[in-house]
Amino acid sequence: MQKLPTVGVVVLTQGTRPDDLMRGLESVLAQQGVALDVVVVGNGWQPTGLPEGVRAHGLPENLGIPAGRNRGVEQVSGEWLFFLDDDASVPSPDFVTDAIRLMVADPTIGLVQPRVVDPSGVTNPRRWVPRIRKGDPTESSPVFSVWEGALVMPRAVFDRTGGWAEPFFYAHEGIELAWRVWDQGLRSWYAGELVAHHPAIEPSRHDYYYRLNARNRVWLAKRNLPWVFAVLYVGSWTGIQLLRWARQPRLLAAWFAGWREGWREPAGERRPIGWVTVWRMTRSGRPPIV
């Protein structure tokens, strides 16, 4: 009898979307052809009322999205990892096996992000396709950032990345994860033929949103890029934001508050990607500048 692939599933939640959480868990438990070890991480609360076969791991305080996912990885076993947010689900019972089959067939792929679709039929945000030239959302390609709400990857690859960027708390942790997959000689992959469901809701645009985005841009560069590229990366994004919000001084003020914080505050462990990785990313269409 053929051994099933073992998959550790980490579902992160703050307990504010119980219906969505149950929908996502039902889609996980419906997966076929895999042996699952599922944990729900309560970021600042103790999950209750979970389906049979799903364990709870409550955190006494909200540690942020990256740290919450990392705590979940510590609780599960399996040669593969499947990360799912509490407002996401996967409609196909073969989703995980299809993602694994894709990586087994092409060992150069170290991470798979599916195409994201709002099941209600509204227009899907372009940001869900993580490439500059969006093109046809059903078209697959290598990518250099990922939407974090549904990802499948080998656990060994995840371990070598060093895990999700805990200091970030929120925003841009998917860019670092993708870069560190590339730094292993692998590719992060957008699989247009695989589908995850997620409501098309714009993230809140409070001042802290802009502050954390700016701070984490700087930290992303400080942690991951050779210094010459770190300066170019932050400089290019600074220019982009100046053009974007030139007539919105409140947003620029919040963004530059985070920008200054990023340079002043420690970003955590610095593990710059290699020059060979920079060349591979550039040759594949996205130098780490923008």
pLDDT value at residue 209:
86
Structure-block tokens of residue 258:
């985070």
Q: Considering the entire predicted model, what is its pTM? A: 0.95
Do 146 and 182 contact (CB within 8 A), yes or no? no
Neighbours of 123 (CB within 10 A): 7
Identify the CATH class of 6-197.
alpha beta
Dihedrals phi, psi of 274, to nearest 5 degrees? -75, 165
Ranges assigned E (strand) in 52-211: 54-59, 80-85, 109-117, 141-143, 150-154, 187-197
Residues 6+ apart with CB under 8 A from 210: 251, 254, 255, 258
Q: What is the pLDDT of residue 247?
A: 87
**Do 289 and 244 touch, CB atoms closer than 8 A?**
no
Nearest CA among 143, 161, 285 for reference residue 223: 161
The whole-number pLDDT of residue 203 equals: 65
Return averaged pLDDT per consecutive 10 residues of the chain, 290 residues in all. 91 95 98 98 96 97 97 98 97 98 98 96 89 93 96 98 96 97 98 96 74 96 97 95 88 93 96 97 90
The pLDDT value given to residue 1:
59
Q: Computed from CA positions of residues 89, 94, 96, 100, in that sequence, does the dihedral angle turn out positive or negative?
A: negative
Query: Phi/psi zone of residue 78: left (φ > 0), alpha (ψ -120 to 50 degrees), beta?
Result: left
Please give the backbone phi and psi of residue 190, each rounded to the nearest 5 degrees, phi first.
-95, 115
Return the exposure string of 216-246: e unless at least 16 CB atoms fall within 10 Å of the residue's CB, then b: bbbbbbbbbbbeebbebbbeebbeebeeebe
pLDDT given for residue 245 in this prediction? 85
Nearest in space to 112 (alpha carbons), one of 126, 125, 95, 127? 95
pLDDT of residue 204: 59
Terminus-to-terminus CA distance in the chain, angstroms?
Answer: 49
Give the model's pLDDT for residue 280. Answer: 97
Q: What is the pLDDT, as a whole number, of residue 205?
A: 62
**Model pLDDT for residues 119-167, shown as the tens digit of each residue:** 998 888 888 999 988 999 999 999 999 999 999 999 999 999 999 999 9
